[in-house]
Amino acid sequence: MTTLTTPPADVVGRSGPRAVPRNRIPRTRLVDVELRKLVDTRASRWLLAAVPLLTLVVAAGVTIWGSDAETAFAALATTNLMPLELLLPLVAVLTVAGEWSQRSALTTFALVPRRGRVVGAQAVALVLVTLAAAAAVVVLSAVGTVVAAQVRGIDAVWDLGTGLTLRSVLAYLAAVAVEFVAAVAIRSTAPAMVACLGFLFVVPMISTVAAGMWSWWAEHGAWFDLSWSLAFLTAPQITGTQWTQVGTSALLWLALPLALGLRRLLRVEIR
Amino acid sequence: MCRDPRLRSVRGMIRIDSLTKRYGDLAAVDDVSFTAFPGRVTGFLGPNGAGKSTTLRILTGLAAPTSGRATVLGRRYADLPNPGLDVGVLLDASAQHGGRTGRETLVLAQRTMGLPDAQVDAMLDLVGLTRTESQRRVRDYSLGMRQRLGIATALLGDPRVLILDEPANGLDPAGIRWMRDLLRAFADDGGTVLLSSHLLAEIELVADDIVVIGHGRVVASGATHELLAASGTLVRAHDGEALVSALASAGYRATPGADGGVVTDAGPADAGRVAFAAGLPLVELRSADGTALEEMFLDLTADDQRDPHPIGALA
């Protein structure tokens, strides 16, 4: 340790950050960093920018060409919320799986070796962004309803029920969660992206065909098929049984793969 | 090495203890032990695939060992509360998100560590990346620029320990010189540096201590000047085989080198006398500084070399 008496070199400012206390990195800071990662690449920035842009385009289009009924708040908001189901899962995949495909995981997990903390922060960041996007869409839709009513000289119709709105948001959260789980389990952008599109388009198709050919599935499929049971959430009414079906299918599509994927992610060698 | 008194100073130290990593039947790292001391640059030398990167990944908590232990500053890396402030790590400069700008890459690390914003610009200046370059996306960076960005990330938290895997890759000669000076200054300031390389010449210039690894095992370790110290005599004659047998029959050990020279444990005077008595005109006769290390390293490399003249590996 004799060399410690050597005067500090200018290359690394010894007086600075070394004085920073060695506390565990707080969770809020990890979430802040993960939120930043959601918007700091061109691809995810465009996907997120598309949310308000699409809302404005739809609102303008409905105002100009739509029927009076279509300018009602519920109709407008429901239409505008739909793109979220595609856009936000893509953001989730790009950010979470991109970490592995782009190999920035090497730096991320060198800075935060407790991998579960990073994954947890990613999940929280995605929930926050989904909620913020949904809120932005609802607010913009409200503005659209007011403007359309003014332009058309009709009374604005405020018919959006709180229950349905909350259930819709829950459905979008679930869609984001499916892709988050796919990204955690697959850890590669392209295959996770395929899984994303597969869940949104292929699974419902297969399920519908199966229901047509197999009456048992037509009756009980919703217990297992999350894409099916999620449709209950966005319907005007939902029964207790349907809630349970959402729960069981979520266990199958979310909890189980997440547990397996997480188990692997926490142990895998990061190259 | 284990009885070294310097071992008592745990601060700023890297310690690898009987580390083993198996992939099925293959032992990528096989009972590796060594220590990197504060105030010194430790070179981790070995051919490609010798187990260097695996060892460094285990050391930084990115891979789990099959058995053994690796500690930094007396703790397992994963147990450091905010590792970036204690240990600067650069394992692969190409492992950076191509869609982010260089500056954004640094900002993410700065925020994770909880450092002031100004530290980002300070590091950009330190590694010689201009503001304009830092606004470009990493996808468009050369490997040399990525190395500089990686070094900036590693130094961001003003750590006491640096762990670098092949940091000179992709740097031009001026960049390599810059890197060497930077590591020297870091160690002279009391920091611990562990850097790996597959190039003996590169390690020789900067390392105070060298650990040589081959096929997952440590084959030599010690202070650079000791490892490179005169370890025999290099004799060269047109008829190398005759020279070997002449030296051998005179009772000396003699090994033909890869480039026609013969390394022997005879002193230069004795070696010259033997050659003279055998009637072999010498082309070269000198004390073989570093030749033993070079030979050992070439032997290690030779097994995996397709090139019939493995000397090329040192170029």
What ipTM describes this predicted complex? Answer: 0.86
Asked whether residue A20 is assigned to any structural domain, the reply reads no
CB spacing of B111 vs A29 below 8 angstroms: yes
Interchain CB contact of A266 with B (< 8 Å): no
Distance from C-alpha of A187 to C-alpha of A181, rounded to nearest angstrom: 10
Residue A164 domain boundaries: 25-267
- From edge to edge, which strands make up the β-sheet containing B26-36? B26-36, B14-23, B67-72
Asked whether residue A131 is assigned to any structural domain, the reply reads yes
Asked whether residue A8 is assigned to any structural domain, the reply reads no
pLDDT attached to residue A80 = 86
Asked whether residue A120 is assigned to any structural domain, the reply reads yes
- pLDDT confidence band for A15 (50 / 70 / 90): very low
CA distances from B90 to B84, B166, B197 (A): 11, 9, 13
Asked whether residue A5 is assigned to any structural domain, the reply reads no
- pLDDT confidence band for B202 (50 / 70 / 90): confident
- pLDDT confidence band for A159 (50 / 70 / 90): confident
Q: Which of residues 115-144 of B touch A (CB under 8 A)?
A: 115-116, 119, 122, 126, 137
Are B69 and B24 in contact by the 8 Å Cβ rule? The answer is: no
Are A251 and A264 in contact by the 8 Å Cβ rule? The answer is: no
Q: Has residue B188 got a pLDDT over 80?
A: yes
Are A91 and A35 in contact by the 8 Å Cβ rule? The answer is: no
Tokens representing residue B170 in the block:
């992709």
pLDDT digits (tens, 9 = 90+) for B215-233: 999 988 989 888 876 567 8
Please, how many CA atoms are within 13 Å of residue A81, restricted to the half-sphere of its CB?
A: 27
Nearest CA in chain A to B38: A1
What is the phi/psi pair of residue B165, to 5°?
-105, 115
Between A152 and B61, the more confident residue is: B61
Distance from C-alpha of B158 to C-alpha of B291, rounded to nearest angstrom: 38
Q: Which of residues 141-200 of A touch B (CB under 8 A)?
A: none
Nearest alpha-carbon partner for B34 in B204, B194, B236? B194
Asked whether residue A11 is assigned to any structural domain, the reply reads no
Are B230 and B52 in contact by the 8 Å Cβ rule? The answer is: no
**Residue B2 forms beta bridges with which residues?**
none
Asked whether residue A79 is assigned to any structural domain, the reply reads yes
Amino acid at site A241 = T
Q: In this prediction, what percent of chain A has a pLDDT beyond 90?
A: 47
Residue B140: count of CB within 10 angstroms of its CB: 11
What average pLDDT is seen over chain A? 87
Asked whether residue A14 is assigned to any structural domain, the reply reads no
- pLDDT confidence band for A135 (50 / 70 / 90): very high
pLDDT attached to residue B266 = 83
Q: Has residue B19 got a pLDDT over 90?
A: yes
Q: How confident is the model over A44-73, as a mean pLDDT?
A: 87
CA distances from A111 to A44, B16, B115 (A): 23, 20, 13
CB spacing of B157 vs A36 below 8 angstroms: no
pLDDT attached to residue B290 = 67
pLDDT digits (tens, 9 = 90+) for A207-256: 999 999 999 999 899 999 999 999 999 888 899 999 999 999 999 999 99
Interchain CB contact of A46 with B (< 8 Å): no
Between B192 and B47, the more confident residue is: B192
Residue A260: count of CB within 10 angstroms of its CB: 13
pLDDT attached to residue A62 = 85
pLDDT attached to residue B291 = 67
pLDDT digits (tens, 9 = 90+) for B106-152: 999 999 999 999 999 999 999 999 999 999 999 999 999 999 999 99
How many domains are contained in chain A? 1
**Residue B89 forms beta bridges with which residues?**
B163
Interchain CB contact of B187 with A (< 8 Å): yes
- pLDDT confidence band for A43 (50 / 70 / 90): confident
Could you give the domains of chain B? 5-223 (3.40.50.300), 228-314 (3.30.70)
pLDDT attached to residue B311 = 45
Q: How confident is the model over B154-172, as a mean pLDDT?
A: 94
Distance from C-alpha of B292 to C-alpha of B285, rounded to nearest angstrom: 15
